[in-house]
């Protein structure tokens, strides 16, 4: 595990994995219903099934990344999850309130940063 990584590379990979794990736990345990309702309101078909599939993708990719098991596949899984979740939840152009729209754009930019980190992991 992490044999070919510098200490900074290993720390960065672990921090990426941790961010997905902590966010996933928070959303699965405390915000599941809220996310399901938002997805339903946005017209996502079968929102509960899509949400569960998203959590499976998120937790599997994050665990694999944390354990450095099939690192590249794990990073691609998390990249796909991040892109899909951003497309579902951060449709800033549909939000009339300027402050809420700004928060969604900020979250989208954070997700772009996560994608950048995942690309670096893939490139290792």
Label residue 74 by pLDDT band (50, 70, 90).
very high
Query: Over the stretch 81-113, which tens digit does the pLDDT of each residue have?
Result: 999 999 999 988 989 999 999 999 999 999 999
Element housing 117 (H / E): helix 98-123
Query: Over the stretch 28-54, which tens digit does the pLDDT of each residue have?
Result: 999 999 999 999 999 999 999 999 999
Residues sharing a CB contact under 8 Å with residue 98, sequence separation 6 or more, in sequence order = none
Label residue 124 by pLDDT band (50, 70, 90).
confident
pTM of the complete model: 0.90
């Amino acid at each position: 595990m992490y044999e070919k990584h510098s200490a900074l590379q290993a720390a960065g990979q672990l921090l990426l994995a941790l961010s997905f794990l902590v966010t996933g736990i928070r959303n699965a345990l405390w915000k599941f219903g809220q996310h399901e309702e938002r997805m339903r309101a946005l017209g996502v078909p079968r929102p509960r099934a899509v949400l569960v599939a998203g959590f499976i993708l998120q937790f599997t990719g994050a665990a694999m990344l944390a354990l450095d098991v099939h690192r590249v596949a794990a990073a691609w899984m998390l990249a796909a999850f991040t892109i899909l979740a951003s497309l579902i939840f951060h449709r800033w152009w549909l939000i009339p309130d300027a402050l809420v729209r700004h928060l969604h754009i900020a979250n989208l930019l954070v997700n772009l940063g996560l994608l950048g980190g995942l690309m670096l992991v893939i490139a290792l």
